């Protein structure tokens, strides 16, 4: 009597949320996820959603509507409502220029530029720039919480120091006055912890820790001595999965990032992907690394598809733009990332 093997049914497709989280936490999703843990805002997406800068930085309904377009229009598995890098420093005392529809916000002052002590303003969590993010996450949770991954974002103490002290001033300080730099970092360390915890409570699924100890500006040794101990300390306190974003060519410090306890690293196209995979040794997933300037901004959808296939073949775990998307990138080019993952 012969036995007949019944072919197994193909796996059921996962929801975008389950697909992304499965990949981020080391599982095997039904296909490669696509998402971004930093801004997807573009002029075309603002037009399509009716949600524009600068209102989207300080109005929760507008912020949530623009963020939702990342899933509903682009097709990404994520939504990311924090479009600027200035929400926290606005609450900490920087004078702000909230930009315009074709320009990101910026700061006009550095409260810690000459400071020897670094006081954090009481009640900073109640500032409009902070409350807008928390309210937008709550709205997105109600609207898309069972469908897409809601990404919260905090600026790490190194990035906060850039704004509060000035980039050049802070970098010089790390060399000439390292004790002062350490005091600044330590004073600012509670800020991302408190903001991350509040975003998780509001409904975020994961947190992006954006901390720009950037390749080309900061040595691996400086990262290891000044920032790595802080990252090890704060990551477990966030209350959920954490993805680190750090710009530039960080190939020489990816192995250090893998020691922080993060679940994923969002890397730029300058990072050598095979080297990064070997350096992480399965300790964290890799997200990225499609070039904004060479591919998404200047290329065609067909070129986006070709470069995405190369990244997939090289072992990227989650396909993503390498950083915050330039405002003039087309919707078609961003949708091509999803098309590449679906092939």
pLDDT confidence tier of residue 17, bands split at 50, 70 and 90: very high
User: Could you count the other beta carbons within 10 Å of the beta carbon of residue 94?
Assistant: 21
Q: Percent of the chain, pLDDT > 70? A: 97
pLDDT at 160 over 60: yes
pLDDT at 12 over 80: no
Determine the pLDDT at residue 309: 97
Determine the pLDDT at residue 281: 83
Determine the pLDDT at residue 282: 85
In a domain, 314, yes or no: yes
pLDDT at 109 over 60: yes
Determine the pLDDT at residue 275: 93
In a domain, 16, yes or no: no
- Mean of the per-residue pLDDT values of the chain: 95
Determine the pLDDT at residue 13: 87
> Per the structure, how many domains does the chain have?
1
| Mean pLDDT in residue range 94-99 | 97
Pair of tokens at residue 95: 């004078």
pLDDT at 189 over 70: yes
pLDDT confidence tier of residue 216, bands split at 50, 70 and 90: confident
pLDDT at 7 over 60: no
What size, in residues, is the chain?
343
In a domain, 1, yes or no: no
Q: Which residues contact 176 (CB under 8 A, 6 or more apart)?
A: none
Determine the pLDDT at residue 10: 56
Which residue in the block uniquely carries the two structure tokens 């410090």? 253
In a domain, 4, yes or no: no
In a domain, 169, yes or no: yes
266-304 burial: b if 16+ Cβ within 10 Å, else e: bbbbebbbeebbebbeebbbbbbbbbbeebbbebebeeb
| Maximum alpha-carbon separation in the chain | 88
Domain residue limits at 309: 39-342
**Strand arrangement, sheet containing 285-290:** 78-79, 149-155, 206-210, 242-245, 264-266, 285-290, 318-321
In a domain, 18, yes or no: no
In a domain, 14, yes or no: no
Determine the pLDDT at residue 286: 97
**CATH code for position 288:** 3.20.20.210
| Mean pLDDT in residue range 66-89 | 98
Determine the pLDDT at residue 1: 46
In a domain, 30, yes or no: no
Q: What is the 3-state secondary structure (H, E, C) of the chain?
A: CCCCCCCCCCCCCCCHHHHHHHHHCCCCCCCCCECCCCCCCCHHHHHHHCCCCCHHHHCHHHHHHHHHHHHHCCCCCEECCCCCCCHHHHHHCCCEECCECCECCEECCCCCCCCCCCCCCCCHHHCHHHHHHHHHHHHHHHHHCCCCEEEEEEECHHHHHHHHHCHHHHHHHHHHCHHHHHHHHHHHCHHHHHHHHHHHHHCCCEEEEECCCCCCCCCHHHHHHHHHHHHHHHHHHCCCCEEEECCCCCHHHHHHHCCCCCCEEECCCCCCHHHHHHHHCCCCEEEEEECHHHHHHCCCHHHHHHHHHHHHHHCCCEEEECCCCCCCCCHHHHHHHHHHHHC
pLDDT tens, position by position, 260-289:
999 999 999 999 999 999 998 889 999 999
């Amino acid at each position: 009597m012969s036995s007949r093997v019944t072919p197994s049914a193909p796996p059921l497709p996962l929801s975008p949320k389950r697909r992304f989280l499965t990949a981020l936490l080391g599982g095997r999703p039904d296909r490669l996820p696509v998402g971004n843990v930093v801004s997807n805002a573009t002029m075309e997406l603002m037009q399509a959603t009716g949600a524009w800068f600068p209102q989207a930085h300080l109005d929760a309904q507008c912020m949530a509507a623009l963020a939702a377009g990342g899933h509903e229009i682009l097709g990404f598995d994520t939504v990311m409502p924090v479009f600027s890098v200035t929400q926290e420093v606005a609450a900490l005392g920087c004078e702000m220029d909230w930009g315009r529809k074709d320009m990101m916000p910026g700061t006009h002052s550095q409260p810690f530029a000459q400071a020897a002590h670094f006081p954090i303003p009481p009640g900073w969590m109640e500032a409009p720039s902070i409350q807008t993010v928390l309210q937008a996450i709550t709205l997105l949770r109600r609207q898309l919480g069972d469908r897409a991954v809601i990404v919260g974002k905090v600026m790490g103490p190194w990035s906060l120091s850039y704004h509060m002290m000035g980039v050049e001033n802070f970098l010089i300080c790390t060399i000439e006055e390292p004790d002062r730099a350490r005091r600044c970092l330590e004073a600012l360390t509670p800020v991302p912890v408190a903001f991350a915890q509040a975003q998780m409570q509001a409904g975020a699924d994961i947190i992006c820790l954006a901390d720009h100890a950037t390749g080309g500006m900061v040595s691996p040794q400086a990262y290891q001595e000044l920032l790595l101990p802080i990252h090890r300390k704060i990551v477990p306190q966030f209350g959920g999965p954490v993805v680190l974003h750090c710009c530039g060519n960080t190939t020489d410090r990816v192995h250090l990032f893998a020691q922080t306890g993060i679940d994923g690293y969002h890397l730029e196209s300058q990072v050598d992907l095979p080297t990064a995979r070997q350096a992480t040794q399965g300790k964290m997933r890799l997200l990225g690394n499609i070039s904004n300037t060479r591919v998404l901004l200047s290329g065609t959808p067909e070129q986006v598809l070709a470069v995405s296939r190369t990244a997939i073949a090289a072992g990227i775990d989650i396909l993503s733009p390498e950083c915050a998307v330039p405002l003039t990138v087309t919707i078609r080019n961003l949708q091509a990332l999803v098309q590449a993952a679906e092939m």
